[in-house]
Structure 1
Amino acid sequence: MIDIQELVGRYVAVWNEPDPGLRREAVAGLWAKDGVQRLQPPQEIRDAAGALGLTAVLEARGHRELEVRVTRSYEEFVAPGAFRFRSRGGAGRVGDMVTFAWEMVPADGGETAGAGLEVLVLDEDGRILTDHQFIEA
Structure 2
Amino acid sequence: MSDFANVVDRYLAVWNETGAAERRKLIDEVFAEDVRYVDPMASVTGREAMDGLIAAVQQQFAGLVFSRGEGAVDAHHGRGRFTWHLGPAGGEALVVGFDVAELNGEGRIASVIGFLDRVP
**TM-score, length-scaled by structure 1:** 0.78
Partner of 1:22: 22
State the structure with more CA Rg: 1
- Please state how far the C-alpha of 1:3 moved relative to its aligned partner: 1.4
Poorly superposed stretches of 4+, deviation over 2 Å: none
CA distance, structure 1, for counterparts of residue 102 and residue 9 of structure 2: 16
Runs (5+) with no aligned partner, structure 2:
none
Partner of 1:129: 110
Partner of 1:120: 101
CA distance, structure 2, for counterparts of residue 112 and residue 74 of structure 1: 15
CA distance, structure 2, for counterparts of residue 33 and residue 134 of structure 1: 23
Letter of the aligned partner of 2:78 in structure 1?
Answer: D
Letter of the aligned partner of 1:93 in structure 2?
Answer: A
- Please state how far the C-alpha of 1:40 moved relative to its aligned partner: 2.0
Partner of 2:91: 110
CA distance, structure 1, for counterparts of residue 91 and residue 45 of structure 2: 34
Equivalent residue pairs, number: 116
Partner of 2:48: 64
CA distance, structure 2, for counterparts of residue 133 and residue 110 of structure 1: 22
User: What's the Cα RMSD here?
Assistant: 1.5
Q: Report Cα offsets for 1:114-135 as digits up to 9, x if no partner.
A: 1101101110111111100111
Give 3-state SS (helix, strand or coil) of 2:107's partner.
Answer: coil
Instruction: State the identity as a percent.
Output: 28
Runs (5+) with no aligned partner, structure 1:
42-57
**TM-score, length-scaled by structure 2:** 0.88
